[in-house]
Chain A
Amino acid sequence: MRKILLLGTAALCATVAAVCAQPAEPPRKTVVHDPVFSTAQADRGKALYAANCAGCHLAGLDGSANPTANVKGLPLLGPHFVQDFGEAKVSALFNRMQRDMPKDKPGTLSEQQYLDIAAYVLQQNKFPAGPKDLTVDTATDVWIPGAGGAEGLVDYTFVSGVGCLSQDPTRSWMLVKAQGLKKSDAASPMTVAFTDAPGEYTFRLLNAYNYTPEPSNGHKVRIAGYLVRLGAEIRVFVQQLQPTGASCSN
């Protein structure tokens, strides 16, 4: 009897050990690329945005990075949106709106109305619509991604990149349609290989004005420098800027 009991215990332990030893499937992080709002909801949000938000953030959501008398709201698009809300849950956007907005009468809209406006803001940032509405529950589960293009690279890594040189309305130099940044050797950064295909990323270029960028505006360039993040936005402190001669107009 004791022998049977021992054998049974050993078998149970072996089974448990086998189960425990199997590598656990890492939980998949839901991001807003997985549709989390519907087109109908974003449409409702559009009307609400026009009535309650556009006075400060402007109709096109492009606001001002430094609020002024005429434009009192921050941009809700592109790099600024990524800076402020990238690598955070949608609930951060929703909570911020519910707590602080509209500026002159915060918290005065209904929960559903704030969700609808959040859906509209996500839609305007090119995130896809799906069959279901955004809810408070989904907002707390879903992440807004960062800018991308520098995964696995820590701040101050020396990197190379290729893309189109562009200047935004505030005269900031940007690398648009860029491929992902690659770690490189500071001594020979321009030898890193890139494909000819246009990329999907945008990087802000710091210190570019010291490298005579104007003639290359609208052209493909290679850049090298130090990676640095501000919020979830990815920036490169430029140390080299090399025109390739190719125009980006095509």
Chain B
Amino acid sequence: MSNLSRRKMIEAMAGGMGIVGMAGMWSDVFGAEAPAAGMGHYMGTKLPVKAKHVIMLYLNGGPSQIDMFDPKPSLFKYAGQRPGAVDLRTERTTGGLFPSPFEFKRYGRGGVEVSELLPQLASVIDDVTVIRSMYTFNPTHTPGRALFHTGSVLATRPSMGSWVTYGLGTENQNLPSFVALGSAPPGGPQTRSGFLPAEFQGVGFGVADPDPEKIIPNLRNKVLDPQSQRTDMDMLLAMNQQNAASFGQDQYLEGRIKSMETAYRMQFEAMDLFDIRKEPQNIRDEYGPTAFGTGCLLARRLVEAGVRYVNVEYPGGQAWDDHSNLNDNLRKRCPDMDQAAAALIRDLKRRGKLDETLVVWGGEFGRTPVSESGTGRDHNPYGFTMFVAGGGFKGGMAYGATDEFGFKAQENRVSVHDLHATLLNQLGMDHTQLTYKYAGRNFRLTDVQGEIVKAILA
């Protein structure tokens, strides 16, 4: 068994069709656990592996860097004004410069400035690399989101989670390799597999209620026992194979076979795994009793179980899209986000998992230093903040800088493609060699761009 790769064995048996379904039959017939993963399609140069998993904390709507991570004293000096030397225009009509009323303090060995809105994240800042010079080129949510998750504004490209799982495969055959969590099951660019085979699409779960029966409704088959289900599945598999033999290979059919097989297998592992109520009370308290807290805690459990990529979306749709009432909104919204995100970093570190997990935090863009409607801020793709913890990033530092007012990334600029390239590098893949041939040419997550940001790597 160990001398014959899983892929070769199954290909030999089934000509590559329905490989995962056959894997289920394999373990049932031979009574053995499915062999641990591999299955990655990355064929490029093997780079040193610094991380095996990614947890993306996604703050939909565009969180305000000015009020959280990027203090700008000059905003007070010019409050209410629009200095003529700087072009501060964005897509909406905006007013004068709008200082943040929040208090910043220096934290950690690097003296990184963090706002009073984020005291918990401030307490783990030595494990966090704050990138203050992020930029993209699209100021609108839908294409901005696509750019953030897929590296392209087009609504057809695969998400980073799909690329990563396509490249590296999974560590657990009983679970989806790419999971997306939100108050409602996330979709769109957060889970899209695009032109990659459909089995690499992210599986969305709603975690508004921590009861696993609510997170994965109808997972348990209440009518058939496992053996009867297996018999059904095998018959269906045989019929699908017959269909494929007649009509040729179809990645969507393969994806469906895979998803049915995964759902079948999930019955036996997922209910326990998705039940965060099995965690000690003090751990649950540390994350907080909110949907985002549940998402972050569940993300930790999933990566520990071998899930490759977990996207955790802060609940409430475009929750961070503060065109008005910014200060009040941030005071209401930051505490539970701060608590859960910091708990995740702390918990992963305690369990020795932070070194092999990339925790990425951010939104599709940031917000303007000028006010919109007097109390809010407009979208700002020209300069904003993200952070990465773990996975071989240095931590305890702020990298890059925006201009005097926090509007445009100016020093050590980092594009979304640069960040994607750097994350793939830590996962052991050269971003220029993680490719998929579609419509006659090779595609990449980073398109024709992306430079690895070496200065933030340990």
Binding site for B on A (CB under 8 A): 65-70, 155-156, 170-172, 204, 206-207, 209, 225-226, 228-230, 235, 237, 239
Contact = CB atoms under 8 A, between A and B. Distances in A.
Interface in B54-80: 71, 73, 76-77, 79-80
Interface of B: 71, 73, 76-77, 79-80, 99, 101-106, 116, 119-120, 282, 285-286, 288, 327, 335, 338-339
A189 to B, nearest CB: 13
Given A65-B116, A65-B119, A68-B339, A230 B106 contact: no
Contact of B101 (A65, A66, A230): A230
Contacts of A209: 105-106
Given A67-B335, A69-B282, A171 B79 contact: no
Contacts of A66: 119-120, 335, 338-339
Nearest to B119: A66
Contacts of B286: 68-69
A228 B99 contact: yes
13 contacts: A65-B119, A66-B335, A67-B339, A68-B286, A69-B286, A69-B288, A156-B80, A156-B99, A226-B79, A228-B76, A229-B101, A237-B73, A237-B76
Contacts of A171: 105
Contacts of A172: 103, 105, 116
Contacts of B288: 67, 69
Contacts of A207: 71, 73, 104
A59 to B, nearest CB: 19
A69 B327 CA distance: 24
A207 B286 CA distance: 30
Given A66-B120, A69-B286, A239-B76, 8 more contacts: A66-B338, A67-B335, A68-B339, A69-B288, A172-B116, A204-B103, A209-B106, A228-B76
A156 B76 contact: yes
List 10 tightest A-B contacts by C-beta distance, closest first. Answer: A69-B285, A156-B79, A226-B76, A230-B101, A66-B119, A228-B101, A69-B286, A237-B76, A206-B103, A66-B335
B82 to A, nearest CB: 14
Nearest to B335: A66
A239 B338 CA distance: 29
B282 A170 contact: no
- Most interface-central of B76, B102, B286 (chain A CB within 10 A): B76
B316 to A, nearest CB: 18
A204 B116 CA distance: 12
B302 to A, nearest CB: 22
Contacts of A170: 119
A70 B285 CA distance: 8
A47 to B, nearest CB: 27
B282 A226 contact: no
Contacts of B119: 65-66, 170
Contacts of B103: 172, 204, 206, 235
Nearest to B328: A231
A204 B102 CA distance: 10
